[in-house]
Structure 1
Amino acid sequence: MADGPRTGFHEHVTRCSAERSFRVDSRAYTHVGVWRGGDPMSKRTAESRVATDYRLSRRQFLIATGATIAAAACATPPAGQGAPTGGAPLGTVKLSAWTIGPDAPSYYRRDNLVAAADKLNAKLGSGTNVQVDATFESGGQWGDYLQKFTLAAEAKTSPDIILAGHENFAPWVGPGYIVPLDDLIAKYQSEGDVKDVIPTLWTAMKLKGKTYGIPQDTEARPMYYRKDLLAKMGWSKDMIERLPDAVKNGEFAWPDLVLWAKEAISKGLVEPGKGWYSRPSKGADIYMFYYQNGGEMQDNATAKLVITKDALLKHFQVHADAVLNDKIMTKTIYGMDAGKEWHPTVTDGKVLFYNAGTWTWKDWQATYKVAEQSLWDNVGFMLIPAAKRGGKP
């Protein structure tokens, strides 16, 4: 077995598109805003020669669109004020909104709604004033947040708009906590930012053929990698820059990632257990390795939840091998403090491969004081490699 990587790389590759990176069926999570049912209200709630090239020697949010908020305003005229024919109600229209998020970038889930009202007011003119009273729970617990909405909905005191995940639709549609938005979406499809929503995201907004939310933000969870460490192992600049394409085309698969992580450790470029860092806590990032191995969570014909046992076993084996057999991931990864240990370790360049959300690119700059140019120079990102070469990431 030769030392280091092969330097050749097949030319027939294409750059992964943004749409592909953020598609719902690539297992990204989408936060949305939804409207409450019953009384007017609502809630918010990634050839044989090619195969050897990389081997190791062998968040209903209203999208800041005035049109959608205008529809809400028209549906809830202020007390004592009737809506003029064909227009918005006169006077002040007050809407309430709940949002939640783990960090500073998440504040935009709230601020986007406020900005949308400003945009709408400018369009409507002086006759109507839309006010959005939006709250944000920083670092709040999703379980408590969702329970609070359920209790408020039962008591008819829930907010007009709520940020939630699309997975929350099912338990809310039955009791009428939220209402479908298809008519409003169709009415304002050509206005504002509604027309700019990535088409594939709408699938996640639907339940039994009806649309219950509008995409607010979508969370892609890529695999990051250190360009500088790959270069120290003999990778050419061209190979490093085109790694995302190799992953997309199934030329660089999970076994390759494991081999290169082990190589980095054997060469002393990273410490044992720091070839790959997964997410240190429960979350969507973990599901990707279940899907990577052919797992499914829903039977499309019956809409019932399912578990693919073989894929689940392989999913567990990926992590067991990483920790116990290949030793590319530390035993202490699960439960590791993200802010005090996980992020400082990866931003210091001490881990070769690591999973994190797209928003962390900015968070690493703001919170961990990594210069943006340093990130572009030393860090790359790609889809989660397929389970085997030739597979789909």
Structure 2
Amino acid sequence: MNRILVALAGATLLATPVLAEDVTLELWSRQDTSGPLRPGNVVKAAERLNAELEAEGSDKRVIVEVRESPAPGFDEDALQLLRVFGIGEGPDMFIQAHEWICAFQQDGFVLKLDDYLAKYPEHFGTIFPSLWESGKCPDGTYAIPQDAEARMFFYNKKLLREAGYDDAFIEAMPERTMSGDLTMDEVVEIAKSVVDKTDAEYGILHRPSKGPDYLMVFQTYGNDFVDPATGELLLERDKLAEAFGWFEKAVADGVIPANNTSMEWDAIRAEFYAEDNAAFWMYGIWDLGSRAFPTYGLPEDEEAFFKDWGWIAMPAAAKGGKPSSLTHPVIYAIAADTAEPELAVRLLGHASAVDLNTDHAVTTTHLGIKPEQLDDPRYAAAWPLARATELLEVTKFLPNNPQFGDLNGIIYTAMQGVETGRLSAEEAADFVIDEAEATLDNVMVK
């Protein structure tokens, strides 16, 4: 582990008061090329905090030291950081995937933020209310959302038109979804019409590996996977069976291919983006900027894109129900034993400023955390972000439980079994419960 002094906040030694007290705050961050401004914005924020401290007449000045972790992913990084805290060597602040926050809370390593957040509404008061759920444990809030994502059903309007759906029907799909009128079963019906009435081979495609996206299906059927009172994993057999039943029906109707989980990523994208060979693609907004536009040539112009393409949130399970999306915020957190909790909170408040967060959002295709970012010309110009921000109103999260990654692996295995015909929906629900009870700790079953 190397320690890199990224920035000395303050101008120069000559500009620093003679009696200034330097306060070094150490920030733990993964070496993540996909999000360099996560720590970078904290470094920039120190300049703003120091100017504020000077105006207040304080003799304190903040120095930010970034401690870099070479961990390949957030799970590995979280486990490494827990070990570091365990030997008393933890940093003052850290950046982490939100689902790990309660692991740090359970071990007493992270600062409870509720009172601080209320004290500084100028920094935290306008963050989207839904995003705060990502930083909560049963007894309070322990993290600040740093960014967000949106996951959805993309769809090919050309194929829907070819299948006989008129423009009025097609253009009403997003609004019908948000109102609860469009349902999951209707998505299967639309996809089946495309397969039956056009040359397209696939109705719906999803990721071919373990990950978050397909969990939207389970959530729309009421599977939240965590008990809000205890934070323990929660499995509800009937709700699991209903979600697996949707996949079972989609495969039986020839909509989802039985071999979806053995397909290659590039092949799936090509079928949807380039070959006009799939009606729907369940994935995330970042895929437009990272793959659809540069690799597969979809139009980057907003009007041209929406002429032939579109997206909807995850529809309700039943008519009149609530739609949903899924986001996976990365969060800022503060160590429980930091010597300067107030300064750390203020520092992360400045790091959450509209302009700095927008710098990160537009360069990494992540959603912002505040509605004011919609007024930033740069954010507005990145129209996929601006348009997808509305999904934060209905978004959900992975459980803040460190065992959920293992549970997700069990769910994915069961989903493979359903799609390949080895398991019925009922058998898949039983499989998940049996495996979870045998391999995981403190699993509640209803």
With structure 2 as the length reference, what TM-score do the two structures score?
Answer: 0.60
Work out which structure has the larger RCO, using CA pairs closer than 8 Å and 6 or more positions apart in sequence.
2
Q: Give the alignment partner of residue 101 of structure 2, picking from 166, 169, 182.
A: 169
Q: Does the alignment pair 1:288 with 2:216?
A: yes
Tell me if the contact between 2:138 and 2:231 (Cα under 8 Å) persists in the aligned partners. Answer: no
Tell me if the contact between 1:98 and 1:159 (Cα under 8 Å) persists in the aligned partners. Answer: no
Q: What letter corresponds to residue 205 of structure 2 in structure 1?
A: Y
3-state DSSP of counterpart to 1:242 = helix
1:42 aligned partner: none
Q: What letter corresponds to residue 113 of structure 1 in structure 2?
A: V
Q: Does the alignment pair 1:308 with 2:236?
A: yes
1:254 aligned partner: 184
Tell me if the contact between 1:295 and 1:312 (Cα under 8 Å) persists in the aligned partners. Answer: yes
1:344 aligned partner: 270
> 1:54-79 CA deviation, whole Å, 9 max, x = no partner?
xxxxxxxxxxxxxxxx9xx9xxxxxx
Distance 2:62 2:237 in 1: 55
Q: Does the alignment pair 1:241 with 2:171?
A: yes
Distance 2:69 2:299 in 1: 28
Distance 1:289 1:201 in 2: 20
Distance 2:226 2:25 in 1: 39
Cα root mean square deviation, aligned: 3.2
Residue 111 and residue 357 in structure 1: after superposition, are their counterparts in 2 closer, same or farther (change >3 A)?
farther
Residue 109 and residue 365 in structure 1: after superposition, are their counterparts in 2 closer, same or farther (change >3 A)?
farther
3-state DSSP of counterpart to 1:196 = coil
> 1:26-48 CA deviation, whole Å, 9 max, x = no partner?
xxxxxxxxxxxxxxxxxxxxxxx
Q: Percent identity?
A: 27
3-state DSSP of counterpart to 1:356 = strand
Q: CA deviation at 1:388?
A: 2.9
Distance 1:118 1:337 in 2: 46
- Kindly tell me the number of residue pairs found equivalent between the two proteins: 302
Distance 1:270 1:320 in 2: 20
Residue 136 and residue 277 in structure 1: after superposition, are their counterparts in 2 closer, same or farther (change >3 A)?
farther
Distance 2:307 2:237 in 1: 41
Residue 370 and residue 157 in structure 1: after superposition, are their counterparts in 2 closer, same or farther (change >3 A)?
farther
Residue 184 and residue 246 in structure 1: after superposition, are their counterparts in 2 closer, same or farther (change >3 A)?
same
Farther off after superposition, 161-170 or 128-137: 128-137
Residue 98 and residue 369 in structure 1: after superposition, are their counterparts in 2 closer, same or farther (change >3 A)?
farther
Q: Does the alignment pair 1:322 with 2:255?
A: no
Matches within 5 A, 1:345-364: 345-348=271-274, 349-363=276-290, 364=292
Q: CA deviation at 1:310?
A: 0.9
1:10 aligned partner: none
3-state DSSP of counterpart to 1:222 = strand
2:195 aligned partner: 265
Q: CA deviation at 1:92?
A: 6.5
Distance 1:111 1:327 in 2: 48
1:181 aligned partner: 113
Residue 345 and residue 181 in structure 1: after superposition, are their counterparts in 2 closer, same or farther (change >3 A)?
same
Q: Give the alignment partner of residue 387 of structure 1, picking from 317, 320, 330.
A: 317
> 1:327-353 CA deviation, whole Å, 9 max, x = no partner?
212233214333x32333322143211
3-state DSSP of counterpart to 2:147 = strand
3-state DSSP of counterpart to 1:284 = coil
Distance 2:41 2:262 in 1: 33
Distance 1:120 1:228 in 2: 52
Matches within 5 A, 1:120-269: 120-121=49-50, 123-124=52-53, 128=61, 130-133=63-66, 135=68, 140-191=72-123, 194-269=124-199
> 1:59-116 CA deviation, whole Å, 9 max, x = no partner?
xxxxxxxxxxx9xx9xxxxxxx9998xxxx6347353231476x74x44434433443
3-state DSSP of counterpart to 1:224 = strand
> 1:249-272 CA deviation, whole Å, 9 max, x = no partner?
23221221111111111223411x
Q: CA deviation at 1:283?
A: 2.2
Q: Give the alignment partner of residue 27 of structure 2, picking from 84, 89, 96.
A: 96
Distance 1:100 1:293 in 2: 37
Tell me if the contact between 1:97 and 1:159 (Cα under 8 Å) persists in the aligned partners. Answer: yes
Q: CA deviation at 1:312?
A: 0.7
1:36 aligned partner: none
Residue 289 and residue 331 in structure 1: after superposition, are their counterparts in 2 closer, same or farther (change >3 A)?
same
Residue 301 and residue 118 in structure 1: after superposition, are their counterparts in 2 closer, same or farther (change >3 A)?
closer
3-state DSSP of counterpart to 1:169 = helix
Tell me if the contact between 2:135 and 2:144 (Cα under 8 Å) persists in the aligned partners. Answer: yes
Residue 115 and residue 242 in structure 1: after superposition, are their counterparts in 2 closer, same or farther (change >3 A)?
farther
Q: Any unmatched runs of 5+ in structure 2?
A: 1-8, 11-15, 324-446
Distance 1:169 1:346 in 2: 36
3-state DSSP of counterpart to 2:41 = helix
Distance 2:226 2:23 in 1: 44
Tell me if the contact between 1:117 and 1:132 (Cα under 8 Å) persists in the aligned partners. Answer: no
Tell me if the contact between 1:95 and 1:160 (Cα under 8 Å) persists in the aligned partners. Answer: yes
1:278 aligned partner: 206
Distance 2:228 2:66 in 1: 39
> 1:11-38 CA deviation, whole Å, 9 max, x = no partner?
xxxxxxxxxxxxxxxxxxxxxxxxxxxx
Q: CA deviation at 1:176?
A: 1.9
2:402 aligned partner: none
Q: Any unmatched runs of 5+ in structure 1?
A: 1-69, 74-80
Q: CA deviation at 1:204?
A: 3.3
Tell me if the contact between 2:185 and 2:246 (Cα under 8 Å) persists in the aligned partners. Answer: no
Distance 2:307 2:68 in 1: 38
Q: What letter corresponds to residue 94 of structure 2 in structure 1?
A: I
Distance 1:260 1:185 in 2: 45
Q: CA deviation at 1:377?
A: 2.8
Tell me if the contact between 1:178 and 1:212 (Cα under 8 Å) persists in the aligned partners. Answer: yes
Q: Does the alignment pair 1:376 with 2:306?
A: yes
3-state DSSP of counterpart to 1:283 = coil
Distance 1:202 1:169 in 2: 12
Tell me if the contact between 1:114 and 1:134 (Cα under 8 Å) persists in the aligned partners. Answer: no
